[in-house]
Amino acid sequence: MEYNAEERREYCEKWRASGLTQKVFCAKHDLNVKTLSRWLSLEQKKQPFKFSQVTAMSNNETVEVTLPSGISIKIVAKKDFFIGLIKGLL
């Protein structure tokens, strides 16, 4: 079955809101897991990068980054680590 762009976007949104694994969601909606995975990957590539300001308040800080996919990464480290990391990216 062919799905148009709007249908693909709706399935991606429904999966995110469902709280289900891709495998379970696809079984309930009669979709191939690889198909949904590809749609999610293509949709993610269209997302622009988002930057947030980070302000260090003490010697040890927590920085949490949330990716468009919903994955969160939390790093707890000394302020100098983050300064070095940022300098290395520039």
The model's confidence at residue 22, banded by pLDDT at 50, 70 and 90, is very high
Same domain (yes/no): 37, 9: yes
pTM above 0.75, yes or no: no
Q: How many domains does the chain have?
A: 2
Asked if residue 55 is part of any domain, the answer here is no
pLDDT digits (tens, 9 = 90+) for 23-78: 999 999 999 999 999 999 988 777 666 665 555 555 567 777 776 667 777 778 77
What's the domain range around 35? 5-46
Longest dimension (CA), the chain: 56
For 19, the token pair is 């709280």
Q: Which band of pLDDT confidence, cut at 50, 70 and 90, is reported for residue 1?
A: confident
Residue 39 lies in a domain: yes
Give domain status of residue 52, yes or no: no
